[in-house]
Amino acid sequence: MPRAKGERRLEILKALAQMLEAPKWERITTAALAEKLDVSEAALYRHFASKAQMYEGLIEFIESSVFSVANRIAQDEADGRKQCEKLLEMLLAFAEKNPGMVRVMTGDALVGEHERLQVRMNQFYERFESTLKQALRIAGDEQAADKSATLLRYAIGCLHQYAKSGFAKKPVEGYAAQRRYLPA
């Protein structure tokens, strides 16, 4: 029975994400991706117009996953400082569960790809920082802008360390102890 177009697209994105999980990461070619899926490169291009569109699919997954949970945190937690703690922990936990996505989030996988992809990841981080800032404003924090920027930089640093360690240094591992040193 033939697969539905949406199912094949998802299968391609999952395979791409799995390939990005390799600790000794190399630039992924469509030929290597097609080989992993045991299909032709032409078959990939029936579902995506370009490799950039495949990466856009991963970015969409990151955005929808992170911000759907962020919205729930904002709805369920009235205390702005606790919102910040939960938002950071959620982002780090998402990264830990999805190591291949970390390569996209840090920009490693986007090197040499279309620049709009890095622009889109930058927009993701701007939106996440705004979410942190809003939580701190709810808490009545007058330094919400500076603190949200610091918290975002901490999270990005954790993601880079996770990727550079070959996914050995888990981002959530030290968060509970380090949280007291963060400005939220």
pLDDT higher than 80, residue 116: yes
For 51-181, CATH number? 1.10.357.10
- Spatial separation of the C-alpha atoms in residues 8 and 15, rounded to whole Å: 11
Q: What is the pTM of this model?
A: 0.92
* Domain residue ranges of the chain, discontinuous segments joined by +: 51-181
Residue 100 and residue 18 in contact, taking contact as beta carbons nearer than 8 Å = yes
Calpha distance 109→114 (Å, rounded) = 11
pLDDT classification of 183: cutoffs 50, 70, 90: confident
Assign 26 a pLDDT band (cuts: 50, 70, 90): confident
Q: Which two tokens stand for residue 67?
A: 């911000």
Compute the distance between CA of residue 156 and CA of residue 109 in angstroms, rounded to an integer: 15
What the block records as the tokens of 103 is 């390569």
- Across 124-148, average pLDDT: 97
Cβ neighbors of 79 (< 8 A, separation 6 or more) are: 138, 139
Q: What is the DSSP letter of 142?
A: T
| pLDDT score of 55 | 96
pLDDT tier, 115 (very low <50, low <70, confident <90, very high otherwise): very high
Q: What is the pLDDT of residues 76-99, one digit of tens each?
A: 999 999 999 999 999 999 999 999
What is residue 174's predicted lDDT score, i.e. its pLDDT?
86
pLDDT bin (cut points 50, 70, 90) of residue 1 is: very low
